Each structure stands twice: as structure tokens, then as C-alpha cells.
């Protein structure tokens, strides 16, 4: 079983594509799938040719969350502790990825699958998408970042109403609440997700990744500290080839080539007379 490809990957230009590939159990978060997902995210993080990520699921469901068979045999304290400790291997790196992430959701995103969907900087839903909590039905608390993400995205009161009510949020309601960026027919989901990821990859992706890292701190940070982070971040952004290309393009009235600028940084001489890239 471990030899199975539970996660499929591909690269299309600057977009790294990750597809959960266990449709027979609705892409449940088995240990094998989590392990392969972590490896795929690590590959995307380390490869500088990857400028954006697109995550989706094969089959009619995005992700059904926890694997019931595993929960039947691994619900004692230490197995649970180890499982959540291992979030640092796959979930935390995805949340902290300093590149734009687009998630395409069709069908069910249940429990931890909903938490996985909410890792997207941009979430696009197919018309069949259904976001479901499902935690209290099992007698468990929300996990996989749901209690962190959902109140930030739709507000504490709405998050409580959704979670405590055991509600199902369909694509139209998710759009109205701002949880998803847009809704498209299911058969157009991949095209829309890949197009959005390609658009982000063609932009100043590394600078956007820096902004993403700073925005993640905004709810726990004072205004004074956030302004300080902005100043430090802007100094770093303005040292990047993407800024120099963006500014030059704006002055010249032409489209910016951020991908080319990042791939071929301008070189400058060090005090010792040697060339070095300034990115």
C-alpha cells in the first residue's frame, strides 16, 4: 500500500500542481496520504522555479477529512499526540509556504478536509462544493487549523454558528461569506484554478510570499509592531529583482516580466571587484 501514489504532482510552468489521489475513500487524510502530501509541499517549497501552488482532489470529493478506520484503532492519547505532532511535516509547511497557494474544491470538504481547503490564499469552488464541519458529530473538537482559520476568515460568531450547528456550507454561501473567491462549474474547476495559479506565478510571487508571511501575524500583532514589520519587509522587497522590474515596467509603460527578473537577477560588483547577484 505504501507504494501507491496517494498524491500526484506535476509542474506546469511556474505552477506546482498537487492532486490528492485517493478518490475511493474521498481523499481521506490517511497516514500515507499525509506523508506524500508533506513530501510534495516540501518539494514545492525548495524549488525556486515553483512560483505558485495549485492543490485539488481527484474524484467527486476534495477531502473527507480523517480516516475512520484509523480513528477506530489510533484514538488513545499517545497515537493522537503523535499524529498532531506530525502536522509540522505536512500541514504547517503548507500553511507557511511563502508562495501563493490556490485550492480548487469540488464536492465535499469535511472536517480536516475543510481545514486543508482553508490553507488556500485563493479558494475556488466548483458548484458541487460543500464545506462541512463534522467534528461534533464524532465527539471531537475541530482540528487541522479550522479553529484558527475559520474565525479569521468569516468572524467568530459565524464560525461558532457553523461549527456548533453542524452546518453544511454550499458553494454559493461560501462565496457570499468570502470564504471562496469564486464559484465555477465543476468541469471548469481545474482550468480556473490553474489559470489563477498561473496569474499569481507570473506576478511578483516571492514578494507576495513575503507579504503572506507578514499578514499571517496581523491578528496577534499590535499596530506599532505591524508597521515595523512592514518597514522591514518593504526594505527586503525593494532589494528584490521583482521590485526593480516592476518599477522599471511601470515607468516604461510596459508589462512587467517578474518571472524573468527573478530567474536572471541583475548583478553588481562587490567591494572586492567580483560579480554577485543582488537577489
- In sequence order, what are the beta bridge partners of 268? 276
pTM greater than 0.75 (yes/no): yes
In a domain, 93, yes or no: yes
The two counts, helices (H) then strands (E), for the chain are 14, 11
Residues 230, 114 share a domain: no
Residues 232, 198 share a domain: no
**Burial class of 78 by CB neighbour count within 10 A (0 to 12, 13 to 18, 19+):** exposed
In a domain, 240, yes or no: yes
Residues 223, 180 share a domain: no
Q: Residues of the chain with pLDDT > 70: what percent?
A: 94
In a domain, 275, yes or no: no
Residues 248, 191 share a domain: no
pLDDT of residue 266: 62
Report d(CA 207, CA 243) in Å as an integer.
Answer: 8
pLDDT band at 40 (very low <50, low <70, confident <90, very high): very high
Closest to 122 in 3D by CA, of 176, 171, 168, 53: 53
Contact 44, 18 (CB under 8 A): yes
Residues 232, 176 share a domain: no
In a domain, 279, yes or no: no
Residues 129, 226 share a domain: no
In a domain, 273, yes or no: no
Residues 184, 68 share a domain: yes
In a domain, 277, yes or no: no
Coil, strand or helix: which one is 54? strand
Residues 220, 189 share a domain: no
- pLDDT tens track for 137-160: 889 999 999 999 999 999 999 999
- pLDDT tens track for 85-130: 888 889 999 999 999 999 999 999 999 999 999 999 999 999 999 9
Integer Rg of the chain from CA: 20
Residue 68 belongs to domain with CATH number: 3.90.226.10
Residues 145, 74 share a domain: yes
Tell which wins on pLDDT, 24 or 3: 24
Query: Does 265 have pLDDT greater than 60?
Result: yes
Residue ending a domain, among 180, 202, 224, is 202
Structurally, how many domains does the chain consist of?
2
The H-assigned helical ranges of the chain are: 31-46, 68-73, 77-85, 87-96, 112-117, 135-138, 146-154, 156-164, 171-177, 189-202, 205-215, 223-237, 241-252, 258-263
pLDDT of residue 2: 47
Phi, psi of 200 (to 5 degrees): -70, -40
Residues 190, 95 share a domain: yes
Domain that holds residue 216: 205-267
Residue ending a domain, among 202, 230, 258, is 202
pLDDT of residue 180: 98
Amino acid at each position: 500500500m505504501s507504494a501507491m501514489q496517494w498524491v500526484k504532482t506535476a509542474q506546469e510552468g511556474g505552477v506546482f500542481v498537487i492532486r490528492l489521489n485517493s478518490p475511493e475513500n474521498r481523499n481521506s487524510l490517511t497516514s500515507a496520504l499525509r506523508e506524500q502530501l508533506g513530501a510534495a509541499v516540501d518539494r514545492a517549497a525548495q524549488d525556486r522555479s515553483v512560483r505558485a501552488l495549485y492543490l485539488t482532489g481527484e474524484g467527486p470529493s476534495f477531502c473527507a477529512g480523517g480516516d475512520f478506520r484509523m480513528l477506530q484503532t489510533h484514538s488513545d492519547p499517545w497515537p493522537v499526540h503523535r499524529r498532531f505532532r506530525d502536522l509540522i511535516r505536512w500541514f504547517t509547511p503548507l500553511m507557511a509556504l511563502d508562495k501563493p497557494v490556490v485550492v480548487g474544491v469540488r464536492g465535499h470538504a469535511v472536517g480536516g478536509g475543510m481545514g486543508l481547503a482553508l490553507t488556500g490564499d485563493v479558494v475556488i469552488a466548483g458548484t458541487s462544493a460543500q464545506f462541512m464541519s463534522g467534528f461534533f458529530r464524532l465527539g471531537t473538537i475541530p482540528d487541522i487549523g479550522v479553529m484558527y482559520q475559520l474565525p479569521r476568515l468569516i468572524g467568530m460568531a459565524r464560525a461558532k454558528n457553523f461549527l456548533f450547528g453542524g452546518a453544511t456550507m454550499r458553494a454559493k454561501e461560501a462565496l457570499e461569506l468570502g470564504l471562496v473567491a469564486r464559484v465555477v462549474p465543476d468541469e471548469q474547476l481545474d482550468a480556473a484554478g490553474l489559470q489563477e495559479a498561473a496569474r499569481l506565478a507570473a506576478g511578483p510571487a516571492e514578494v507576495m510570499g513575503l507579504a503572506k508571511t507578514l499578514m499571517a501575524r496581523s491578528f496577534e500583532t499590535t499596530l506599532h509592531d505591524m508597521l515595523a514589520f512592514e518597514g522591514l519587509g518593504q526594505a527586503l522587497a525593494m532589494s528584490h529583482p521583482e521590485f526593480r522590474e516592476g518599477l522599471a515596467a511601470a515607468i516604461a509603460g510596459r508589462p512587467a516580466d517578474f518571472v524573468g527578473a527573478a530567474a536572471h537577477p541583475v548583478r553588481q560588483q562587490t567591494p572586492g571587484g567580483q560579480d554577485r547577484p543582488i537577489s
